[in-house]
Amino acid sequence: MLILNYCKKKCLLLLVLIAALEGCAITPDKTAQQTKGVTVCDSYLILSMCVQDLDGDGTVDIVYFTDTNEAFMYQEGKQDLVAEVMPFHRCAVPLDEGMQTTTNRILDRGDLSLIEEMSIAKDLLSNYIAAKPTIDACNAKFEDVSDDDREPEADFSQFEEDWDLE
């Protein structure tokens, strides 16, 4: 009887505690947590890339690689919106018309066939090849400046016979 009384008191105390905690709980504001746009990430070429529609208008506003989380392409006129989300890569460029069209197709990826996905990959590759000289020139400009500030690295050979064994 004593044990039964003890269990009833424990259960009653537990129920009162749960009711008190439930009374303190608030319903989260779901509208503040939802974003208007869509983000789609996948591996294209050899890197993992994301496209993001920040304002929900159905067009890509930002393109970035997941390893750097820096915007390297953005929709013209949306620089301020993009800057609120992530920093720009030092060689970031606006999306040209072809790349804008291609990346917009990625947003509807769930509805794409394999042939359409292959077409997107082909278009991304051709746009990348067309933009590569400009991007390489920009990166080289920054690498030349940073190379002057660094100490020269020691030569390293991956071949064992080149190692200096003492």
Per-residue H/E/C for the chain: CHHHHHHHHHHHHHHHHHHHHHHHCCCCCHHHHCCCCEEEEEEECCEEEEEEECCCCCCCCEEEECCCCCEEEECCCCHHHHHHHCCEEEEEEECCHHHHHHHHHHHCHHHCCHHHHHHHHHHHHHHHHHHHHHHHHHHHHHHHHHHHHCCCCCCCCCCHHHCCCC
Residues spanned by the domain of 51 = 33-145
Contact 61, 53 (CB under 8 A): yes
Any domain includes 65? yes
Asked whether residue 87 carries a pLDDT value surpassing 90, the answer given is yes
- Please check whether residue 52 is in contact with residue 60, taking contact to mean a CB–CB distance below 8 angstroms: yes
User: Does residue 8 lie within any of the structural domains?
Assistant: no
Number of structural domains, the chain? 1
Q: Output the pTM of the full model.
A: 0.62
Residue 22 lies in a domain: no
Question: Is residue 73, in this structure, part of any structural domain at all?
Answer: yes
Give the model confidence (pLDDT) of 107-166 as tens digits: 988 888 999 989 998 998 888 888 889 888 998 988 876 555 555 444 444 444 554 554
60 lies in some domain: yes
The answer as to whether 93 is a domain residue is yes
